[in-house]
Chain A
């Protein structure tokens, strides 16, 4: 493994079993993402993009094959260790933001820090920094319902970066936004990649979005390719 490869997926199979039926979603799939890269993942609906992202993010385990992120093997890690690993090593951004409706923006952003050894003051400083980075310093006390979709996604991104992970995994981060807000979010991700060195894997359906990434891969019938499938 070369030094600057951060994510390494090697010969991964993922089979979902539902009753008597089994769906082979990923087949002997391999992928390497270098540190500091901005990778877009495209592919038809149901091709397994989210599945792959979940495997890289330690939210799910491969049926077979190896996954290594930042030098740590995720396959075979216990549930408890995986959770601790997620808290430290990865920032997740969801299509529907997944904010806690009962918490203000700053409390939402603070959540991952509750799993860190930081004290209250340090947590507050990290939260302020993250919110400033996404341009929401003055909306800290707002509840998600008081924010637009684009703003909610910024809170989501602030929450993902507040622990300062190397890797950001974004599943259709602009999928629920209009073009303008979507562009702003993409600009933000691009800045995080370029200026803060974040390694980003972003799933998207939108060619406009993938154009912002440094590299685009297509997932189809369980396999990855650099070419857009027919």
Chain B
């Protein structure tokens, strides 16, 4: 007997060639699956983009020092003596001005969004002189740096794009303070792009924080020194601090949103996938019943059940892959790079990010489509193979 694969190929070819005769139901299945894949890839690209925004451009040698036992800068407080001890600890990278450690504090202000005009939260970060050394990725793209001691701010380009009134030269009134935007900065796509920066001392004054800070952002000589640096700080009896790698800290911060979006996206895609599955199932049952006569004829000629099952599965797979490719293409074309922002739940402030449709996500989407196609084709394929030949030949 000729190779079963050749038989399956012949039967599949017959079924694929007759798809145009069933274009209604086939098209419905293709577009159903395309929609599911677009939504799946779309939502996962949000999580991906958010994760990228949160963790982008974080150097491995960067660390964050917080008060002991707190998870977030928001809840942390460090006194000036503690900051000084941190700055004097061995292992920090140095430049001409001294150790690369920036004591920072952090408030959240309300600004109207450009898109809707409604107020949303933006982090306003007070940084020390070493901030630029700690985060060399921060580059002024327009204007200049703020002058220490003055009510000047620079805005991350994500924040500037997202919120009204952060154009270069404009004045921002928050409470009884008025700030002048003197610069716009980029930060290699990192989280800082969603923030506004000013001089820590000025911010302490404006918000009556005396001399307290919330965190120290510092850069180590090398990433390998983290453990020693951490041990030195945590074993120091004068301190009660938590030392984390900045990348880990951001990942922690991203986790809630990341998980929420991923779970939500997966859930929605799973629900829609059920719909598409039934669509595919229906399409393939329709296809099998439309091809009932042809299948029965092939069986009468002596073709086995195997090639028939394979042909139904392959037809379903082809339709699903077409849908998957369309859906992935849609997600890629419409969403990739699309800028949006969302609330960072830890800091209750907006994080600007771009949808990131990665090859990995596209592959996941297409694989999902293939799964829908195979499962949707399985039962109809079994029905096709079980078709009693003599009965199917007579009811025409």
Name A91's closest neighbour in chain B (CB-CB).
B301
Q: Contact: B396 with A92, CB < 8 Å? A: no
Q: For residue A87, which residue of chain B has the nearest CB?
A: B302
Judge whether B302 and A86 touch: CB under 8 Å.
yes
Docked-complex contact A111 and B396, CB < 8 angstroms: no
Q: Are A116 and B301 in contact (CB under 8 A)?
A: no
Contact of B293 among A54, A84, A98 (CB under 8 A): A98
Cα distance A57–B302 when bound, in Å? Answer: 11
In the complex, chain A residues whose CB is within 8 Å of the CB of B7: 114-115
* CB-CB under 8 A for A115 and B14, given A50-B394, A59-B389, A94-B393: no
Task: Write out the residue numbers on chain B whose beta carbons fall within 8 Å of the beta carbon of A159.
Answer: 301
**Is A5's CB within 8 Å of the partner chain B?**
no
User: A51 vs B17: C-alpha distance in the bound complex, in angstroms?
Assistant: 32
A177 within 8 A of B: no
Across the interface, which residues of B come within 8 angstroms of A133, CB to CB? none
Q: Are B300 and A59 in contact (CB under 8 A)?
A: yes
Least CB distance from B390 to A in Å reads 4
Contact with B390, one of A59, A80, A87, A112 (Cβ below 8 angstroms): A59
Which of B17, B300, B303 meets A92, CB within 8 Å? B300
Q: Which of B3-34 touch A at CB < 8 Å?
A: 6-7, 10, 13-14, 17-18, 21
Q: Let me know if B302 and A112 touch, CB within 8 A.
A: yes
CB interface residues, B 358-396, toward A, < 8 Å = 389-390, 393-394, 396
Q: How many residues of A contact B (CB 8 A)?
A: 29
Residues of B within 8 A of A117 (CB): 1-2
Chain B, interface size category, equals: 20 to 34
Query: Is A147 an interface residue when CB atoms closer than 8 A count as contact?
Result: no
When distances are taken between beta carbons in the complex, the residues of chain A under 8 Å from B303 are 83, 87, 111, 114-115
Interface residue? A191 (CB, 8 A)? no
Query: Is A98 touching B302 in the complex (CB atoms < 8 A)?
Result: no
A104 to chain B, nearest CB (A): 11
Residue B297 at the A interface, CB < 8 A?
Answer: yes
Query: Is residue B148 within 8 Å, beta carbon to beta carbon, of the partner chain?
Result: no
Q: Is B304 an interface residue (CB 8 A)?
A: yes
Which residues of chain A (108-125) have a CB below 8 Å from chain B? 111-118
* Interface flag for A217 (CB, 8 Å): no
In the complex with contacts A101-B18, A102-B17, A115-B393 CB distance below 8 A:
no
Does B294 touch A at the CB level, under 8 Å?
yes
Task: Give complex CA distance A17, B396 in Å.
Answer: 20
- Among A59, A96, A98, A103, point to the contact of B14 (Cβ < 8 A): A103
Report whether A102 and B394 are in contact in the complex, using a CB–CB cutoff of 8 Å.
no
Instruction: Give the Cβ gap from A67 to chain B, nearest Cβ, in Å.
Output: 14
CA–CA, A123 and B7, complex, Å: 14
CB-CB < 8 A to B304: which residues of A? 80, 83
Q: Known contacts A50-B394, A83-B303, A98-B297; decide if A116 and B2 are in contact (CB<8 Å).
A: yes
Cα-based distance from A115 to B301 in the complex (angstroms):
9
Residues in B neighbouring A94, C-beta threshold 8 A = 297, 393
Residue of B6, B7, B293, B390 with highest tally of chain A CB at under 10 A: B390
Q: Using Cβ atoms and an 8 Å threshold, which residues of chain A touch B17?
A: 102-103
A-B contact pairs, 27 of them (CB 8 A): A54-B390, A59-B389, A60-B390, A83-B303, A84-B1, A84-B302, A86-B301, A87-B301, A94-B393, A96-B396, A98-B294, A98-B300, A98-B393, A100-B14, A100-B294, A100-B297, A101-B21, A101-B294, A103-B14, A111-B10, A111-B301, A113-B2, A114-B303, A116-B1, A117-B1, A117-B2, A118-B2
Residues of B within 8 A of A (CB): 1-2, 6-7, 10, 13-14, 17-18, 21, 293-294, 297-304, 389-390, 393-394, 396
9 nearest CB pairs, A to B? A87-B302, A102-B17, A60-B390, A98-B297, A86-B302, A59-B390, A54-B390, A83-B302, A102-B18
